[in-house]
Amino acid sequence: MEDKLVTLAIRTFQRAQMIKTVLEENGIETVIHNLNLEHPELAVGVRVRIKESDLPSALKIVEEMESAWEQEPATESVESQKILIPIDFSDQVPKMIDFGFHFADVLACEVVFLYVYFSPAFTISSNNDISTYSISDSELLRRITSSAKAEVETLTSTIKARIAKGELPNIPFTFKMKEGVPEDQILDYCKKHKPALVVMGTHGKKMTKELIGSVTAEVMEACISPVFAVPVLMTMQSPDDIKRVAFLTNFDQKDLIAIDRAISLFASEKVEMYFIHASDKNQAWSEVMLAGIKSYFSHHYPLLNTNYELLDASDSPELLNNYMVTHQINVLAFNARRRNLFSRLFNPSLAYKMVLHSDTPLFVTHV
């Protein structure tokens, strides 16, 4: 049977070329798809494809390359006092603005909107034939950027009007436009500028059968900044509706740092914190650790209204969803572990699962 091609990664043209070069130096045949043959530098979001039998070796090589890219020194100054809001001008943007400006006010930050656009000059049909549009690459790119700039102007006027009416806090804000793959550009911005928080929607208006996974989930998996995810179908209308925040803990010492971030962002005299530990084993040790958590928070946060719960299963979106509905939880928070490419491809994290299946806002950190 012929060894079929599988998609190893979706990257910018420049990085896809780097991956292709290194893989072929290691004897792995590599194909780049979705490539604009006339102007390859305009083709963003290209697919790196290899034979399925080469996948184990290729994963190891690409993981090493991505680790090296992550360790590259930042070329721009660090800006810690920013709230980043990636947008696609969907109907969800007003909710993201409400929460983004609220958290910017709480953390004394400015707001940066990031719009990442594609400039496709082709489509790939089911039989992998390339079919080009009738208009030129430069004209297509001009239309895309012109439309985006018009959207930015409209949104700027709307935000200024809402600030003038007192509907939003008077927070400085700016817009940035980037060409590329959304998750790559968002992660690149976070690496260089280290925003205090990223506020994202869990669905975009351009969801199609060609889109694998979720941009928000991909960012949550690898982002160095905390991420607040705003679901399309959430019932909350404004940040003032946050009354109950649940933190999913594994009794890890690093969780205490992540919990402190959650408390700084959400805590007020009206907010209750629920600390949950989910396990598929009935261990007496969990009870001991939970008692230690209770003691820690009663000592360090005496004014915080807290609740504690042990659940009898782990890594279950359905279980957590049922708990959150029963207890009317408004936000689920947890500390996610940054994982390698192999894990992300074949063992989706709880953050990934919750983004795709939950209508409760998520607050995810990487400590």
Q: What is the DSSP secondary-structure string of 167-190?
A: SS----EEEEEEES-HHHHHHHHH
Residue 323 has pLDDT above 90, yes or no: no
Fold of 82-205: Rossmann fold (3.40.50)
Residue 311 has pLDDT above 90, yes or no: no
Q: What's the CATH class of domain 242-365? A: alpha beta
Residue 205 has pLDDT above 80, yes or no: no
Same fold, 82-205 and 242-365: yes
- State the pLDDT at residue 337: 67
Most confident of 5-9, 190-194, 332-336, 358-362: 190-194
More confident residue, 192 or 35: 192
- State the pLDDT at residue 153: 92
Across residues 172-193, what is the average pLDDT? 90
Q: What are phi and psi of 241, to 5 degrees?
A: -85, -5
Q: How confident is the model at residue 123 (pLDDT cuts 50, 70, 90)?
A: very low
Pick the CATH number of 5-70 from 3.30.70, 2.40.50, 1.20.950, 3.30.160: 3.30.70
Q: How confident is the model at residue 214 (pLDDT cuts 50, 70, 90)?
A: confident
The CA distance from 30 to 65, in Å, is: 16
- State the pLDDT at residue 164: 95
- State the pLDDT at residue 82: 93
Residue 11 has pLDDT above 60, yes or no: yes
More confident residue, 174 or 297: 174
The CA distance from 274 to 338, in Å, is: 24
pTM tops 0.75: no
Q: How confident is the model at residue 350 (pLDDT cuts 50, 70, 90)?
A: low
- Domains of the chain: which residue ranges? 5-70, 82-205, 242-365
